[in-house]
Amino acid sequence: MKRLSNRSQKIIKSRPKDNRKKYKGTTDLLTEEKDVKKNIFSFAFFPFFRNFAHQIMTTYYIQKPERLGNDIKLPASKSISNRALIIYALSGGVLPENLSDCDDTEVIVRALKEMPETIDIKAAGTAMRFMTAFLAATDNGTHVLTGTERMKRRPIKLLVDALRQLGADIQYEKEAGFPPLRINGQRLEGGELEIAGNVSSQYISALLLIGPVLRKGLTLRLTGDIISRPYIDLTLWMMREFGANAEWTSMDTITVKPQPYKSRTYYIENDWSAASYWYEMVALSDDPEAEIRLEGLMDGSKQGDSGVRYLFSLLGVKTIFASKEPGKPCTVTLRKGDSRISRLEYDFTNMPDLAQTFVCTCCALGIPFHFTGLQTLKIKETDRIEALKTELLKLGFVLEDRNDSELTWNPQTSDVHPSAPLPAIDTYEDHRMALAFAPMSLKMPISINNPQVVTKSYPHFWNDLTSSGFTIHDSLPCSSHSSV
């Protein structure tokens, strides 16, 4: 099993460039040369080994290093990877380079390669939204799109209603408004459409991505407040990178012309969301010489979470780019700054995936906070607001929430004793719970239940921790502990 696991980490992005070829359409999807087929086959079935790992590695106990320093090869951005794969499938072009090897991306890879009658996207919310639109707008037959039990409770009605207005044939297999979905694919007319702007931006991105292949294109008007705008802008930027004519034509309207995507080679930047956990570690480390070097990031990145560098500057972390050349990935060095803010107030409307990182960081540093713009956290992999309140209470932190969109912590009025000498943090099948809580081990004893959930976005996170000096012990069913 070790040989297969090692190999699976080299999937797709490690193959020789000479083995790429162009495709005529979606029927030829992901059928490159023999060696690439073999790699993608391993990539697609890697969840079997991950599920096996979940059964034998239940809890990680994390011990901090005396010194913090390392060179980290971050995973590729799953946000960019998932968008690039849908564009690739619609353009019949060249498979993008440096694809993410996370769970969320691999389910799209497998779905596009195999196109089975029933497509299980597991817990991948982006894949559910993007594949719903892709299958509805392309003539690839009839498919049932399903996922985990949690996925079957995540709403999809807004997207389905929008696609139906464009002519899509989509039926609910069970409860109306939720997966599974039965989708009969066909070319859609397109046209004008209104959709609420204050829900997940993935609904909006899913519609935009299919815009160029609609007969009449797409004019999309967003009503109400528009949240997570950077993710919408990322989608539009990537579409234009592949030759689409897509742009904001007013403050609330996006127009996509019926102009097909153009094939091109494309290299995917590494993930700024993953970088946030290393910012957290530098902020929490007691080592005044702490230094982390992160590979493959860009100054001026279009990723919404690249704003993490500005927010962490308020918490005492400096960001140094090896190159300022636009569009060129480089090494980013993180070091301790001279000072940090005494209280943090911030609206996370445009960066909701960073909320857990900053909640955990501020609690561990003893910095009171008031965070707003968290309304989408309740429909993520879990209800992240409730999960944060529950798990931080185990560590002695009492958080208050308001309006299903705000979190506040004031240490003077909310300190309690931890629930146990070594509290075990539950992760709720949410990768960002494990990723955000693990760095807190630099300030207090921490253990993480179901640690392999990180494979959803950062498969080699625990290996990167150990190479950075952390000691991690796993708890096996027989209650023996061993280092990982």
DSSP code at position 404: T
Q: Are 197 and 251 in contact (CB under 8 A)?
A: no
Alpha helices in 326-404 (DSSP H): 355-365, 384-394
DSSP code at position 349: T
Reduce the DSSP state of residue 382 to 3 states and report it.
coil
DSSP 103-124: HHHHHHHHHHHH--SEEE-TT-
Q: Are 237 and 302 in contact (CB under 8 A)?
A: yes
Taking the CA of residue 302 as centre, how many other CA atoms within 13 Å lie in the half-sphere pointing to its CB? Answer: 19
DSSP 429-484: T-HHHHHHHGGGGGTS-EEEESGGGGGGT-TTHHHHHHHTT-EEEEE-TT--EEE-
Task: Retrieve residue 159's tokens.
Answer: 């997207």
Question: Residue 154: which of 167, 145, 142, 165 has the closest Cα?
Answer: 145
Which residues fall within 8 angstroms of residue 447, CB to CB, at 6 or more apart? 59, 60, 61, 62, 422, 423, 424, 425, 475
User: What size, in residues, is the chain?
Assistant: 484
Question: Residue 144: which of 131, 163, 157, 125 has the closest Cα?
Answer: 131
Active site residues: 353
Instruction: Report the distance separating Cα 424 and Cα 216, nearest Å.
Output: 54
Q: Are 269 and 296 in contact (CB under 8 A)?
A: yes
Q: Determine the straight-line distance between the first and last CA of the chain, rounded to whole angstroms.
A: 16
Instruction: Report the distance separating Cα 28 and Cα 33, nearest Å.
Output: 12
DSSP code at position 149: T
How far from the centroid of its chain's Cα atoms is residue 54's Cα?
A: 20
Could you list the beta-strand ranges (E) of 25-168. 59-63, 69-73, 118-120, 142-146
Strand partners, 184: 142, 169
Q: Are 323 and 104 in contact (CB under 8 A)?
A: no
Q: Are 216 and 190 in contact (CB under 8 A)?
A: yes
Cis amide bond preceding 180, omega within 30:
yes
Written as one letter, the residue type at 379 is I
